[in-house]
């Protein structure tokens, strides 16, 4: 297998570590810095999975290998930047790295509706932050480009109930594991739409403080001399009574965002 074929295999199976390991082995002689970067980020990912909750030593190691050496770039990242061009909001990093490759991207929502498949053909993008989400919501989420996305956030104009409804009905978001709707000011109908969705089968984390409905996550009790721990959300219990139990009920305290490597 040549490096180009190995890179294509990473894109075809973006959640798996093995294709990334094979890529690093193939380029170790010709691109030693790239191979070392891929291996370092893979090692951090493994440690995060084993640690469960955030471990300070592991996170310190992760910060030391956030990006490739200056003279190098993970294969595909430069092409992603060229494709995104001026659509990325000013001051936002267009690309973020995970397990050695361009894995996170900030994109304009209307742009993604038309060019999502082009982006996903260049790099194993798993984490998407949508900017300017005020666009045709049904068109936005009616794309196979979402098939491997595991994490979704929003910047710019707040997501609307119409957008949440289109998202919850998308046939392509079954692998979405984390959805961040923080401080969107969404009505209670939005949380019922998500809870009643038959499409979001992979959802494990919903981060949604700052809406008109109560938080569905566990809350961290203040330690005032008594036992310190987490308290379940009463609203999540109410939702379970109406929609049945969901994996994302009480899944993570609002103050903590799960590590990407913990997503299925």
Q: How far apart are CA 223 and CA 241, in angstroms?
A: 30
Confidence of residue 225 (pLDDT cuts 50, 70, 90): very low
What stretch of H or E contains 207? strand 205-207
Residue 211 has a pLDDT of 93
Q: Pick 261 or 97 by higher pLDDT.
A: 97
Name the percent of the chain in helix, strand, coil, to the closest 5.
Answer: 40, 10, 45
* Lowest-confidence region among 79-88, 137-146, 205-214: 79-88
Q: How far apart are CA 135 and CA 184, in angstroms?
A: 16
Percent with pLDDT over 70 in the chain: 83
Residue 230 has a pLDDT of 62
* First-last CA distance in the chain: 28
Segment 63-87 shows an average pLDDT of 74
Mean pLDDT, the chain, integer = 84
For 145-160, b where at least 16 C-beta lie within 10 A, e where not — what string? Answer: bbebbbbbbbeeebbb
Per-residue pLDDT at 69 exceeds 80 = no
Note whether 164 and 154 are within 8 A (CB).
no
Specify the DSSP class assigned to residue 260.
Answer: G
Could you tell me the domains of the chain? Answer: 71-262 (3.80.10)
């Amino acid at each position: 297998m040549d490096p180009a074929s190995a890179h294509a295999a990473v894109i075809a199976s973006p959640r798996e570590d093995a294709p990334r390991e094979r890529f690093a082995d193939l380029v170790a002689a010709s691109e030693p810095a790239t191979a070392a970067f891929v291996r370092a980020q893979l090692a951090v990912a493994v440690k995060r999975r084993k640690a469960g909750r955030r471990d300070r030593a592991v996170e310190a190691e992760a910060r030391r290998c956030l990006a490739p050496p200056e003279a190098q770039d993970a294969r595909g990242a430069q092409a992603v930047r060229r494709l995104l061009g001026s659509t990325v909001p000013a001051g936002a990093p267009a690309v973020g790295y995970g397990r050695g490759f361009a894995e996170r991207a900030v994109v304009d929502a209307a742009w993604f509706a038309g060019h999502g498949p082009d982006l996903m053909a260049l790099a194993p993008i798993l984490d998407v932050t949508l900017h300017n989400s005020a666009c045709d919501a049904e068109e936005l989420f009616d794309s196979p480009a979402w098939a491997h996305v595991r994490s979704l956030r929003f910047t710019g104009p707040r997501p609307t109930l119409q957008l949440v409804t289109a998202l919850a009905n998308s046939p392509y978001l079954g692998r979405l594991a984390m959805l961040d709707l923080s401080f969107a000011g969404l009505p209670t109908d939005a949380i019922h739409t998500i809870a009643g969705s038959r499409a979001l089968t992979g959802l494990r984390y919903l981060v949604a403080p700052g809406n008109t409905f109560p938080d569905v996550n566990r809350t961290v009790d203040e330690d005032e001399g008594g036992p310190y721990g987490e308290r379940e959300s009463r609203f999540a219990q109410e939702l379970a009574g109406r929609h049945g139990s969901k994996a994302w009920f009480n899944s993570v305290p609002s103050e903590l965002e799960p590590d990407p490597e913990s997503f299925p």
